[in-house]
């Protein structure tokens, strides 16, 4: 039985909040992080494990964990939720103009390693996604449609052949974030993608480090060790990037991302030493 009250307390809500309220509160309360795959630990998608990790232990998670927890909560509130697997649209390796969280035009075909939700309630269908550190803040209408403005950011969904593509306005240019077939997938497909993403030695979530939080105003803070270690702050007006020394990570996790208890191991990877 999903503990809705504990989940709502974790994200600062109570009662019977709307889908949009839950989505924004979840996104701004639970950090995005891949610290388990980074430590060599596979990720469980069992609902009780998600509740233990993200709610009780007040950790974060990456897209599969975040969106499956959201799915369980919205279903407990009476909504219907379908799952879709998306491909991130990433730039060519070595392209310094973009990163996994600042995408350029698609030039590398990635696996379907991102989870997206369709939430249906009272005859309306919504595109929901709390598993992307710099994505939508609140659900947007599902399918192609007009631009959606959210706290200074602009998003839209367009058709590209058989795929639906989420785009984000960067300056005066629309850039692709991810694309997906509008065909729901069963949980076994999600589990397979999650296994690859959290365990494969070439998965960027195994080889790299990504931790992100969103503010209530939509600002984003991202700690990333994808190609070089840095801390970035993103607002609609622009992005500032600060290079980091590895020794600074544990304190930043505790103070900026509400993730205490991590330390650097001898091999330079982060390990959880206590529950904070």
Structure confidence by residue, pLDDT tens digits, 124-165: 999 999 999 889 999 999 999 999 999 999 999 999 999 999
- Burial, 261: exposed, middle or buried (Cβ in 10 Å; 0-12, 13-18, 19+)? middle
Q: Which residues are catalytic?
A: 63, 114, 129
Angle among Cα 154, 160, 162 to the nearest 5 degrees reads: 130
Cα(62)–Cα(3) distance, rounded to whole angstroms? 21
Residue 99 has pLDDT above 60, yes or no: no
Instruction: Report the chain's C-alpha Rg in angstroms.
Output: 18
Any idea which residue has 């007009």 for tokens?
Answer: 146
Taking only the tens place, the pLDDT of each residue in 182-227 is 999 999 999 999 999 999 999 999 999 999 999 988 899 999 998 7
Please give the pLDDT value at position 108: 66
For 237, residues 6+ apart whose C-beta sits below 8 A from its C-beta are: none
Closest to 135 measured CA to CA, from 111, 117, 119, 123: 117
Taking only the tens place, the pLDDT of each residue in 238-261 is 889 999 999 999 999 999 999 999
Which residues pair with residue 89 across a beta bridge?
Answer: 109
Q: Count of alpha carbons within 13 Å of 252, Cβ hemisphere only? A: 22
Please give the pLDDT value at position 218: 86
Whole-structure pTM over 0.75, yes or no? yes
Please give the pLDDT value at position 110: 81
CB 62 within 8 A of CB 32: yes
For the ranges 89-93, 135-139, 248-252, 264-268, the lowest mean pLDDT is seen at 89-93
Cα(162)–Cα(75) distance, rounded to whole angstroms? 28
Which residues pair with residue 118 across a beta bridge?
Answer: 82, 127
Highest mean pLDDT among 104-113, 240-249, 266-275: 240-249
Packed helices 63-76 and 19-29: angle between N→C axes, nearest 10 degrees: 150
One-letter-per-residue 3-state SS of the chain: CCCHHHHHHHCCCCCCCCHHHHHHHHHHHCCEECHHHHCCCCCCCCHHHHHHHHHHCCCCECHHHHHHHHHHHHHHCCCEEEEEEEEEEECCCCCCCCECCECCCCCEEEEEEEEEEEEEECCEEEEECCCCCCCCCCCEECCCCCCEEECCEEEEEEEECCEEEEEEEECCEEEEEEEECCCCCCHHHHHHHHHHHHHCCCCHHHHCEEEEEECCCCCEEEEEECCCEEEEEEECCEEEEEECCHHHHHHHHHHHCCCCCEEECCCCCEEECCCC
Distances (CA, A) of 96 to 15, 226, 271: 46, 12, 29
Phi, psi of 45 (to 5 degrees): -110, 10
CB 115 within 8 A of CB 85: yes
Assigned CATH topology for domain 4-272: Arylamine N-acetyltransferase fold (3.30.2140)
Residue 189: how many other CB atoms lie within 10 Å: 15
Residue 35 has pLDDT above 60, yes or no: yes
Give the model's confidence band at 93: pLDDT under 50 very low, under 70 low, under 90 confident, else very high. Answer: very low
Q: What are the tokens at 141?
A: 């209408």
């Amino acid at each position: 039985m999903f503990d809705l009250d504990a989940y709502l307390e974790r994200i600062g809500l109570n009662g019977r909040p709307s889908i949009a309220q839950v989505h924004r509160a979840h996104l701004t309360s639970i950090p995005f992080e891949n610290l388990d795959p980074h430590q060599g630990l596979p990720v469980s998608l069992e609902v009780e494990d998600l509740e233990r990790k993200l709610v009780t232990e007040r950790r974060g998670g990456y897209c599969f964990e975040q969106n499956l927890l959201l799915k369980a909560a919205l279903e407990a509130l009476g909504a219907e939720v379908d799952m879709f697997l998306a491909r991130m649209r990433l730039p060519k390796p070595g392209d310094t103009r973009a990163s996994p969280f600042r995408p350029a035009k698609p030039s590398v075909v990635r696996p379907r390693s991102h989870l997206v939700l369709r939430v249906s309630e009272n005859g309306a269908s919504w595109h929901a996604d709390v598993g992307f550190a710099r994505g939508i803040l609140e659900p947007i209408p599902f399918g192609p449609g007009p631009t959606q403005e959210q706290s200074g950011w602009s998003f839209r969904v367009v058709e590209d052949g058989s795929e639906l593509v989420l785009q984000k306005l960067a300056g005066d240019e629309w850039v692709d974030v991810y694309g997906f077939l509008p065909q729901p997938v069963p949980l076994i497909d999600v589990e397979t993608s999650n296994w690859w993403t959290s365990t494969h030695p070439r998965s960027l979530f195994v080889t790299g480090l990504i931790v992100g939080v969103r503010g209530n105003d939509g600002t984003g803070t991202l700690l990333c060790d994808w190609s070089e270690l840095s801390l970035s702050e993103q607002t609609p007006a622009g992005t500032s990037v600060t290079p980091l020394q590895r020794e600074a990570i544990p304190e930043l996790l505790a103070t900026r991302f509400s993730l205490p208890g991590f330390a650097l191991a001898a091999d330079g990877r982060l390990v959880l030493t206590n529950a904070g």
